[in-house]
Structure 1
Amino acid sequence: MNNRRQFIKSSMLVGGGIALLPSALRGAAAPSKRVNIAMIGTGRQGLHANLRTLIAMDNVKIVSVCDVDRLRVNYAKAVVDQRYGNKDCKAFGDFREAIEMDDLDAVMISTTDHWHAIIALAAMKKGLHVCCEKAMTRYFDEGRALADVAKKKGVVFRLDSECRTAAYMQKTANLVLNGYIGNIKRMEVGVPHEFQKGGGNPESMAVPDYLDYDMWLGPAPVRPYTLDRVHHTDEKTGKWKGRPGWLRISDYCSGMICNWGGHLIDVANMINGTSHSGPVSVEGTGGFPDEPQALWDTIMKFELQYKYANGVTLDYKLDQPYLRVEGDEGWIQAHWHSKGGLQAHDRKIFRTKFKPTDTIVSSRSDKQDFISAITEGTAVMIDAEAGHRVNSQCLLGLAAVKAGKRLEWDAKKEVVTNCDEGERLMKHSFHRDPWALEKFV
């Protein structure tokens, strides 16, 4: 581990997890407080949502960009070079080269879901901090391994959901956590109808010369290349175009049930005090595309009900993105977007003046939450264990739909206790050589 990385890691251990930096090192320009980051994955989320946010932060330096799509990585490098006024940013096509850079502190992973675990594990074994897009992993065993390694290595891991930092969600959490609607009885989460039908052209196409397709597949099964399987890139600019097809294919992604669940169910679990445990059962129904020859096969509709050990229930369905919390003294509903806003049994509740003794959730942005954890030793909002648990909860719902049966879940042992088929579906995993998961744990 290099000296800069050792300094930042050791500073997290001072003062009970709060970094006590010498006065000479304080300030955004201090090299010891600047976090050098490699951006791994420079597509839609990587460029638009993550790189542009991190690059605007004074105490962050983007030192490299990495993508299997040469056009995309070149475009991302140009963005970084323009921001810094130099050409120092390195461009890689293989994440293994990116994480070997000297003076690297952290990685931002914005790849396809099926690559998240392998890249994160490799980075953490190097002592690097990790911010990872959700869904955290494609498979259950990946998430368990990732949470265990993050704890063992003592590095910062943050699941990159901005939902906890959204103003409406924070307001809801503060009111509920401090008892302003009484004891929680029921919660409800809706997520968007992103994909209403199957489809996707399955016919094999020539692989573009700018794409390392075998590396794109990585641990997933070998399949013929087709544009609707991977992503669209503007060949003139190198920018992403539209939603990628892989979001709808189960080899690479579990679908919106996990992708959006990683946002809103995470907030529900925080409010319910179950971020590091989860539910004890789930039941419900759902449906999949009925075009057997089409590419896109992830779940398209579902209505689920989870039950927690404390008796609280959570109804989860396709709808608009929102969170509703019902207590024995009232209810609050928060929408993801400003159009829905905040609703409640009595709008006067939103004028509540919190007491000094009330618990107030952090108002840091998602990226600042990650950077502060590295430089100041603060706890991240969504650590690897919480990320694994919320993803597992969504995978459990998916398994219940496929099994067609109510599944009982031992949250401590992380096993389905009443249905062998449900347990098999829950623990299904695939990693093509040379990307076997055990090689990276």
Structure 2
Amino acid sequence: MNRREFVSGAACTLSALGMPTIVPASVFGANAPSNRLNVGFIGTGRQAFGSNLPQMMRVPGVQAVVVCDVDRWRMTEAQAFVNSFYAQRDGLSAYNGCATKSDFREVIGNPDIDVLMVSTPDHWHVPMGIAAAKAKKHFAMEKPISISVQQGRMLADAVKQCGVTARTDSEFRSLRPQNHAVELVRNGHVGKLERIEIVFPSDPTPVGVQPDMPIPPELDYDMWLGPTPKVPYTEKRVHDVKQHKLRPNWMRVDTYAQGMIANWGPHYFDAAQWANNSEHTGPVEVEGHGEFPVSLWNTMINFKIQYRYANGVTMSCEQTPTSKPSITYFGSDAWIKVDGYPGTMTSSKPELLTHEPEPGELDFSKTLWDKNDLIAAIREGRSPLEPIEVGHRALSIGQIGLIACRVGGTLHWNPEKEAFEDNNYADALLAAPLSRPEWALV
């Protein structure tokens, strides 16, 4: 009997008994045919169903063994999704090998789980990431990885101190139009990089004051709130009931997220940092303005922000009620623009669109997809393509831009100290949000 037959057989036997199981990778030893890595999924909303579950389950040598969510309906839907995937893949009449857990601490603390995929609301990312790092669990974390610069620094430091492999889960580095443009810039085909212009997609119309509503019976609302203040439940604060295909409502509430500057920001700011060869630093100056709706959905909209780097490169980003996503790199000799998702590239030099790297040049054409990159990094003992430190640096650009819009005027940023110079008010806004005592970041 080969390994797959053993695993499938064991799963079928336990399925007949109505018992999901987790078979630890250690059972098979280092010389197992695929050296299986067991993955636990924390958070089973839109990103989990739309990308994280199906992509991760297709990586060779990976097994989804547990799904975790504070919403029981979403969790059982995810369990059925996983079980159906493996039954179809392995030609089984039934599969019941995926467990459920409503408390993320049981997943992080399970010694039989090797890797975590964190796809929760943004306000939970850092507490879970630090707990995972302390438990020596490798993980991928959905961007944005934090809701403050100070929080992001705490997470990046914990990952480094604990020696785990952790990846910022953004797929933009794996999209060929995006990495091709960066490749051309880094290889000097636009001349000297001078400026970068970013446009973000528009936001939905903010919703106003909402009535208090009964908490759905399937939702552990207190656990959903976690480290944030206790407030009455209303659907537009959380996510649509018994629905996982729509953008969640919490993305527009600044207690739990930071809006489009932090949603698409980690994609585009990371690409810009990569192109500018400044992944471990950041700009030195920022100014901007934006609108802050007085409503339940109160994250910043309709903004324009300007940045300047120490090397002279300038960067702008903006959002309007009708804007569509793009990033443009302007060099001394040419410009390259990537529109939309996954991206369509245009250039003032059309010959660049088909240019492939020459010997000795940077070549990103064989970049692994994000989930494959994480697993390869774990197996090979290397850094993933976008480690947490790099993801933190990209996100912090959006976060200091958000602060600049709140404070007004030109702010001077020290990327080494991660602090503003001579502006105590702006510095205070870098702090980690206050936590309820039971979830305090210590």
1:106-154 CA distance string (max 9 Å, x none): 1000000000001111111111011000111112222111101111111
Distance in 2 separating the partners of 1:217 and 1:381: 32
> C-alpha distance in 2, partners of 1:353/1:334?
17
What SS does structure 1 have at the residue aligned with 2:237? coil
Equivalent residue runs for 1:51-66 within 5 Å: 51-66=53-68
Note if 1:405 corresponds to 2:413. no
Amino acid across the alignment from 1:229: R
Report the Cα distance in structure 2 between the residues aligned to 1:354 and 1:388, rounded to whole angstroms.
Answer: 29
Name 1:38's counterpart in structure 2: 40
Judge conservation of contact 1:168–1:336 (CA < 8 Å) in 2: no
The aligned counterpart of 1:354 is: 357
Q: Which residue of 2 aligns with 1:208?
A: 216
| Residue in structure 2 matching 1:250, options 246, 254, 261 | 254
The secondary structure found in structure 1 opposite 2:79 is: helix
Q: Is the 8 Å Cα contact of residues 39 and 65 (structure 1) preserved in structure 2? A: yes
Give the percent of matched residue pairs that are identical in Structure 1 and Structure 2: 38
CA contact (8 A) 1:200 1:228 kept: no
Structure 2 gap segments, 5+ residues each: 1-22, 88-94
Q: Distance in 1 between matches of 2:393 and 2:384?
A: 15
Between the aligned partners of 2:395 and 2:354, the Cα distance in structure 1 is: 34
Q: Name the counterpart of 1:345.
A: 348
8 Å CA contact retained: 1:72, 1:233: no
Pick one of 273, 277, 284 that aligns with 1:273: 277
Task: Find the counterpart in structure 1 of residue 153 from structure 2.
Answer: 144
Q: Offset of 1:425 from its aligned partner?
A: 1.8
**Which amino acid in 1 is paired with 2:73?**
L
How many residues align? The count is: 409
Q: Which residue of 2 aligns with 1:165?
A: 174
| TM-score normalised over the length of structure 1 | 0.89
Distance in 2 between residues matched to 1:78 and 1:428, nearest whole Å: 37
Residue 320 to residue 90, structure 1, CA distance change in 2 (3 Å) = same
Could you tell me whether the CA contact under 8 Å between 1:47 and 1:76 is conserved in 2?
yes
CA drift of 1:378 comes to 3.5
* Aligned partners of 1:46 and 1:111 also within 8 Å: no
Instruction: Work out the CA distance in 1 between the residues paired with 2:226 and 2:47.
Output: 19
Partners of 2:111 and 2:381 lie apart in 1 by 22
Moved more, 48-57 or 114-123: 48-57
Deviations 1:43-97 (A, max 9, x none): 0012221111111222210010000000000010011111223212110111001
Classify the secondary structure of the residue corresponding to 1:426: coil
TM-score, normalised to structure 2, is 0.89
Give unpaired runs (5+ residues) of structure 1. Answer: 9-20
Q: CA deviation at 1:349?
A: 1.5
Question: Matches of 1:142 and 1:75 in 2, distance apart?
Answer: 32
Which residue of the partner structure matches residue 304 of structure 1?
305
1:378 aligns with 2:382: yes
Residue in 2 that maps onto 1:331: 335
Contact kept? 1:66, 1:95, Cα under 8 Å: yes
2-side partners of 1:389 and 1:154: how far apart?
A: 19
* Structure 2 partner of 1:81: 83
Do structure 1's residue 261 and structure 2's residue 262 form an aligned pair? no
2:288·2:305 contact (CA, 8 Å) conserved in 1?
yes
- Counterpart in the other structure of 2:144: 135
* Matches of 2:356 and 2:337, distance apart in 1: 19
Distance in 1, matches of 2:307 and 2:175, equals 24
> Which residue of the partner structure matches residue 17 of structure 1?
none
2:231 is aligned with 1:230? no
Say yes or no: does 1:283 pair with 2:283. Answer: no
CA distance change for structure 1 residues 301 and 124 in 2, over 3 Å: closer, same or farther? same
